[in-house]
Amino acid sequence: MDISAFERKLESLIDLDADDRRAVAALPVTEHRVGRRRDILRQGDRPTFVYILLEGWAARYSLRSDGSRRITGFLLPGDFCGIHAVCHAAMDHAIVAITDCRVGQVDREAMRTLTDSRDAIAEAVWRAKLAEEAILRKWLLASDDAYHALAHLLCELFERADQLGLVRGDVLSVPLTQEEIGDALGLTAVHVNRTLQRLRAEGLIVLENKQLTIADSGALRRAAEFKHEYLRSWRDRSDR
């Protein structure tokens, strides 16, 4: 089975030695496929497995009592979900497949054994969590207006996808509907549409048929106040 997305993610966070790689390769992973719009984990679940997204896009979300949905993060290949499992905690949110996904299921005890025996991997998991937290803080920071928030989200997704080698040429396939983007930003799909058009009209991006090109990276980053360090510094800056 192909778990290269997971290895790639780990390598993006820390240097692995041969033993680390062997341990990852030996991890008992069961592959699942989850269709678009189906839940990978449901709120309230108390999973006994940790899941690793191997292929496709997914999203964390919660529902409000009026039925509206808030997306609180996007998952790209290599990202974990349900790392709560190692703490035996219940999911305080759900995870849904945005596209058809390939998902790796790892028993929580096996994951615990891996992190207990391989320091580098424990460190990588810790860094991944810190990075997710930093992303959440940026979402709050950029949520002061729609233009800023949308520009920032596009920068984030492009940067993360780029680190995973998902950008072909300068084009990224972004499988999100405008409604999903709205749920992530706390905006209506209508307003996302209008804001996207503004980004297009101003020549910052090209986005058609879910294919995103950043036409004016400097201007987009300025509009977003995007600094990529928060997504990168985990590796380069560590001297451990």
Binding site for its own copies (CB under 8 A): 46, 60, 62, 64-65, 68, 70, 72-73, 84, 87-90, 92-93, 123, 126-127, 129-130, 132-134, 136-137, 139-141, 143-144, 186, 225, 229-230, 233-234, 237-240
Nearer to DNA among residue 64 and residue 240 (C-beta): 64
Q: Please, which residues have CB within 8 angstroms of residue 177's CB and are 6 or more apart in sequence?
A: 189
In angstroms, the Cα distances linking 41 to 64, 65, 175 are 17, 19, 20
Nearer to DNA among residue 12 and residue 195 (C-beta): 195
Which of DNA, its own copies, none interacts with 209 (beta carbon under 5 to 8 A by kind)?
DNA
Q: Where are the beta strands (DSSP E) in the chain?
A: 29-34, 39-41, 49-55, 58-63, 69-75, 80-81, 94-97, 101-107, 171-173, 205-208, 211-214
Cα gap 194→19, rounded to integer Å: 51
Nearer to DNA among residue 65 and residue 209 (C-beta): 209
**Least CB distance from residue 34 to its own copies, whole Å?**
21
**Least CB distance from residue 142 to DNA, whole Å?**
11
Nearer to DNA among residue 29 and residue 184 (C-beta): 184
Which of DNA, its own copies, none interacts with 221 (beta carbon under 5 to 8 A by kind)?
none
**DSSP symbols for 95-112:** EEESS-EEEEEEEHHHHH
**Least CB distance from residue 186 to DNA, whole Å?**
6
**DSSP symbols for 171-208:** EEE----HHHHHHHHT--HHHHHHHHHHHHHTTSEEEE
Which of DNA, its own copies, none interacts with 234 (beta carbon under 5 to 8 A by kind)?
its own copies
Nearer to DNA among residue 29 and residue 181 (C-beta): 181
Helix (H, G, I), strand (E, B) or coil at 209: coil
Which of its own copies, DNA, none interacts with 124 (beta carbon under 5 to 8 A by kind)?
none
- Tokens 């999203």, residue? 59
Strands in 211-214's sheet, in edge-to-edge order, are: 171-173, 211-214, 205-208
Cα gap 175→92, rounded to integer Å: 25
Nearer to DNA among residue 2 and residue 145 (C-beta): 145
**Least CB distance from residue 189 to DNA, whole Å?**
6
**Least CB distance from residue 99 to DNA, whole Å?**
11
Q: Residue numbers of the site for DNA (CB under 7 A)? A: 145-147, 177-179, 182, 186-191, 193-197, 209-210
Cα gap 128→9, rounded to integer Å: 9
